[in-house]
Amino acid sequence: MELVLRRVGDVPSAALERAKRALLRELEFLNVYIDYKRLEPSLDAYDWERRQYVASKLLKELGKVDDTLTVYLIEADAYEDNLNFVFGLAMPWEGIAGVFLRRLRNEFYGWSPDEEKFMQRVEKEVLHEVGHLLGLEHCPNPKCVMSFSNSIYDVDFKEARFCNLCKLKIYRRFSA
């Protein structure tokens, strides 16, 4: 199974590479590629009143690359109906997902920059969204990368790995 990581906006190459390493560590059956070309987000998906992108609209506009799963790292803030913001969004029926980086940075909260913490959060959110692309729901185990994150504290609390039950569900479905 193939997956391509793409960037939208001023996303550092190191974030793409860190995401790739996390995916290969946790999901050995994936063939992960990085497309280093920098894409720009469409203003058609921007909500000027909220100053955020509509996550699903932006992902639909970005689209899927061929027959591969496509995950976008997006230097922006986004929301969905009934949610003030999203760290990420997966659209399994489309084969696409996005991780919105703005709220993963300490600076968003007025804290001192911490590049390592940011990279750990990128890993967790990419793994989480790929888990959804592979058919997983949210996990009740708060340490599992598939647990729902309602705040940056929830992201920091969980680990950058699937719990045994979630990993078993993935491997039953995709490894042979």
Q: Tell me the catalytic residues.
A: 129
- Name the residue with tokens 């967790």: 124
Within the chain, strands assigned E span: 2-8, 31-39, 46-47, 52-54, 69-74, 78-80, 83-86, 88-91, 96-100
Tokens representing 169 are 């569900």
The β-bridge relationship of strands 96-100 and 88-91 is antiparallel
Tokens representing 36 are 């280093």
Query: What type of residue sits at position 150?
Result: N
